[in-house]
Structures are given as structure tokens and as C-alpha cells.
Amino acid sequence: MATIVNVHEAKTHFSKLLEQAHAGQEIILAKAGKPYARLVPLAAPPAQRRPGRLAGRVGDAFCESLPEDELQSWEGQ
């Protein structure tokens, strides 16, 4: 649920409101009692992919065939 804050109060408590928005709370700024703007957290930037970062960390056993009984259980037999 959003918190509605008058512009004058927002100027007085801006740091506190900024922390609340950063924590995920939506703050509606009102001017003369009417909603005027919204203070919301920015979306986290997507993690950058770095191809090859696991190179040399996967052992040879990863590429070996599964034992027959385990393979059958994966295939639902």
C-alpha cells in the first residue's frame, strides 16, 4: 500500500522517504491534497553475463554418461 505525503512534509523528511522507497514502499507525493508524483525504487540492473566464467571449474565427470539405472529413472522407466 502506498503512503501519501504532502510536498511540504516530503521536503522535511526527504531522506526518510527515500529510504522507505528504496526498501520497496511506494510514496505518493501530494500537492494541495491531490496526488502529484510517485516515489518508487529503481529496478535492480540485470546481472551481466560473462560467458566462460566457469571454464576449468567443471570436472570431466560432468560429460560422462549416466549409469543405466539412473538414466532410466530420469526417463521415468
DSSP tag of 58: S
Tell me the whole-structure pTM to 2 decimals: 0.54
Task: Name the pLDDT band for 63 (thresholds 50, 70, 90).
Answer: confident
Strand partners, 4: 28
State the average pLDDT over residues 46-70: 81
Which pLDDT score, from 0 to 100, does residue 1 have? 78
Note the pLDDT tens digit of each residue in 4-50: 999 999 999 999 999 999 998 999 999 999 999 999 988 877 788 88
Residues 6+ apart with CB under 8 A from 23: 41
Query: What is the CATH architecture assignment of 3-39?
Result: 3-Layer(aba) Sandwich (3.40)
